[in-house]
């Protein structure tokens, strides 16, 4: 397997109906997608990450989602995130 390169990191999103109606879920998913795009470089190549929005995500603003995502990535990466 020498010479093979790993694919870039990827992220998937789970936003259930507990977050809110379709409009709220779509807005949360768009915010999370934007936030994760800026942070993908922190993940090792070949990483697959699933971001699950909790029910309170529908009421959270962009800054709160960013703080929560950064905290989760820090736990995931062992303190190596922003």
Q: Answer whether 0.75 is exceeded by the pTM.
A: yes
Three-state SS string over the chain comes to: CCCCCCCCCEEEEEECHHHCCHHHHHHHHHHHHHHHHHHHHHCCCCCEEEEEECHHHHHCCHHHHHHHHHHHHHHHHCCCCC
- Kindly report, residue by residue over 24-67, the tens digit of the pLDDT: 999 999 999 999 999 999 999 999 999 999 999 999 999 999 99
What integer pLDDT is reported at residue 4 of this predicted model?
A: 81
pLDDT at position 2 over 90: no
């Amino acid at each position: 397997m020498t010479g093979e390169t790993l694919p870039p990191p990827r992220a998937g999103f789970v936003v259930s109906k507990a977050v809110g109606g379709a409009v709220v879920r779509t807005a949360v998913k768009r915010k999370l997608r934007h936030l994760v795009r800026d942070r993908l470089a922190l993940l090792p190549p070949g990483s697959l990450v699933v971001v699950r929005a909790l029910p309170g995500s529908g009421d959270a603003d962009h800054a709160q989602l960013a703080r929560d995502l950064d905290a989760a990535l820090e736990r995931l990466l062992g303190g190596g995130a922003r």
